[in-house]
Structures are given as C-alpha cells and as structure tokens.
Amino acid sequence: MNRAFTHHGGDLAAAVAAYGGACEDWIDLSTGINPLPWPVPPDLPIDWRALPDREALLALEREAAAHFGADPDLCRAAPGSEIALRVIAVSLGLPGRCFAPTYRSHIEAFDKARALEAGPATVLVVANPNNPDGTLRGRDEIAALLAAQEAVGGWLLVDEAFADCHPGVSVADMVARERRLVVLRSFGKFFGLAGVRLGFVLAPPALLSALNRRLGAWPVSAAALAIGRAAYGDRAWIAATRRDLGGRAAALDEVLIRHGMAVQGACPLFRLAHAPNAASLFEGLARRHVLTRPFEQSGRMLRLGLPRDSAALARLDEALAQADPHD
C-alpha cells in the first residue's frame, strides 16, 4: 500500500505522478465530495475588483443559517471548516478527545492542547456522520454527550461536514448563547464545490468573537459569498440531490458487495469497504487509474466516494474485477 495516500483523499496529482496517465484519465473516488456539483450559473455576478462586501457576508450567513435551521446571529462563515476547526481548538484552549476512527485533522487540531490537560474539562469532538465509517448518531445521543460535557465544564464540538445529507440528525438548532456546543458545517462536500473553500461555525457569541479576531475582516472571498448564498437558496436542487444520492449510493453498494466487500456507512457520499486484500486492491485500482482512499492503520479498509455516473460505476466494476486475483 502506498502510504502517500493515507493522510487524506483528493491528491490526484500525486496519483498521476505515482501511477501514470493524465488527470483526465482518472476516476477520483478518494473523497466524499459530491461528483455532481451545484451548477454555478455562468452569469453569477462576482465583483473581483473590490474587497468582499460586509453586507454580502451577512446575507450569506443568514441564508446558510436558514439552511442549517440555526440562529443566524450564531453563524459565522470561514474559509473552510478545517481552518475553522483549528481556530476553534486554539480559542477553546482545552485538550480534545475524539471517537475513533475519525478525521486525522480532528486529532491534529488538538495536539498542542492535549499537553495542557489538567482536569476533567475537555473538548469532545464528534463527527456526525462520522468519517471514514459513516456512523450516524441521533439527536438524543448528541444531546446526552453535550449534557455530560457541560456537567464537567467541557465543550462538545460536532463536525457536521456531511450532515446536509441527513438534516434530521443535525444539532445546529441546539447551538445557543448559554450552551457549550459548537457545530461546524462544510459547503464543499454536499454541494460538490470544495474549491470554493467555505465553511461555517455555529457557536456562542464569545467564541465567534474569538473566531472573528483570528480570521479578520474578510474571512471568505467574493466568489464564496456569491456562490454560497445562491446555492443555499436553491431549495429545489438541494431536495433533488438528497433524493438522488441514496439511489446512487445503493448502486455503489451493489458493485462492492458483488466483489466480496463488506460495506459500511450511512452517509450516501461515501462508503467504507472492508476486504482482506484492500491494500492490494488499492494498488490494483490505482494502476487502472481509479483512486480510492487507503488507511495506514488497516490494510483491510478502503473508502470510496460516489462515481459520477453509470459509466464511471461500470469502470469501477471492471477495474475491481481486474484488480482482484480472487474475483
């Protein structure tokens, strides 16, 4: 297994360098980003000449908060949810702990704070749905975790990067001025526009003020303001995408199961596949220009995102058959 691809997905340039071909020859299934993105209108007005407008920022935050079901006064935009996570970790100044397995960035964000541990108060970080295994926790379970954290003066940070697929489990509406709850949301995954680099923090005012001080007056670009506001306001596209993702994920499941893999995960944007020969499958697929996500801690797991269309799914099917000597 090539460990260069175990840190995160999406490094297609490295895959080309290691296994050949050109970028357009590859199918990149190494991320959980929707391969059918929100269609950015070619005439969407973006003023590249001026600094991002303050009123446009507030309008984006209101539109996003309405989508999340959250208080707009407790919603702040950031240049991606990962940057927001790292800023919040510094601002809280408490050691963090996570359920395993989880994002490597969650662990990295609290590395320095962990050394300061001197009592029971911590930041418990929960991804819901979780990555990479797609575990989905209900609102009652999240509320119980929050109550336990608050009882000892700690915080609960819920990373809802993939929650657009599961609006019924989001706890964005639980964020309140007096609660020790932070919720992170990501724009790029569900809307398929990761390059926009847009995320949101839902938190009490004091924490948002600390975020504002660190991000400055122009936290996101003019393009992010325009694209994000229009996309969150496109209720028809959001509803249609939620309906469509389930069927596409089921089709991926059928292919993986037919090739002897055990499939795990509730999030329709990716699946965690278990197979004894997952490490060799990664290599075999990469040689056929299909990029998946391997894991350093286990040579028996691969994470696969959704293929873009039926042709890409058929190509994955064929590549799996060729890559697996036991198939």
DSSP character string of 227-238: HHHHHHT-HHHH
Burial class (CB in 10 A: 0-12, 13-18, 19+), 250: exposed
Asked if 74 contacts 211 with a C-beta cutoff of 8 angstroms, the reply is no
Asked if 38 contacts 191 with a C-beta cutoff of 8 angstroms, the reply is yes
Mean pLDDT by 10 residues, the chain (327 residues): 60 90 95 97 95 97 98 98 93 87 77 55 94 96 97 96 97 98 98 97 97 96 98 98 97 97 96 94 95 86 96 97 71
Asked if 327 contacts 54 with a C-beta cutoff of 8 angstroms, the reply is no
Q: What angle do CA 121, 90, 11 make, to 5 degrees?
A: 115
Cα-to-chain-centroid distance, residue 69 = 19
Radius of gyration of the chain from its Cα atoms, rounded to whole angstroms:
20
Q: Which pLDDT belongs to residue 4?
A: 61
Q: Which pLDDT belongs to residue 113?
A: 46
Q: Which pLDDT belongs to residue 119?
A: 67
3-state SS, residue 178: coil
The domains of the chain, with CATH numbers, are: 3-37+236-323 (3.90.1150.10), 54-233 (3.40.640.10)
In angstroms, the CA 122 to CA 154 distance is 5
In angstroms, the CA 62 to CA 68 distance is 10
φ, ψ of residue 202 to 5 degrees: the values are -110, 120
Q: Which pLDDT belongs to residue 191?
A: 98
